[in-house]
Copies of this chain bind each other. A is one copy, B any other.
Amino acid sequence: MKSNQTENNLPEPTKAELEILQVLWEFGPSTVRFVNDKLNEQREVNYTSTLKQMQILTEKGILKRDESQMKHIYIPVEAEEKTKDQLLDRFVNTLYKGSASKLMMQLLGNEKTSKSDIKEIKRLLDSMD
């Protein structure tokens, strides 16, 4: 058996799980119905599939839920930023041997990064010291 845990001791979310987290991050605590509707704006998913995923997410401790009503309300256990930090960390370690600046350079060399993005970043950097 593999454990696949982050430093935080929470298993890292899979792809499908991440989709669900995004909805919860964007819209706050929600019912399965709501999340499923949101997902279906992008692709077809069966309601029970989403339900199952959210139950699994809860088993894993990534979500918790309020069961006081019949319509359970699901809530991410960790804050969006924290989870993203972990994923980002993993990403940097995997692809850039942990060098944030390497990743940055890749990003800056990428035509997808807009002028306004770059200005924004400069401003941020200047305000850092």
Contact = CB atoms under 8 A, between A and B. Distances in A.
Contacts of A107: 88, 92, 100, 103-104
Nearest to A110: B85
Contacts of A120: 101
A121 B101 contact: yes
A88 to B, nearest CB: 6
If over half of A's interface residues share one DSSP class (helix, strand or loop), that class is named, otherwise mixed; here it is: helix
A124 interface: yes
Contact of A88 (B110, B117, B128): B110
Given A88-B95, A95-B87, A124 B108 contact: yes
6 contacts: A89-B110, A91-B91, A92-B107, A101-B121, A104-B121, A105-B124
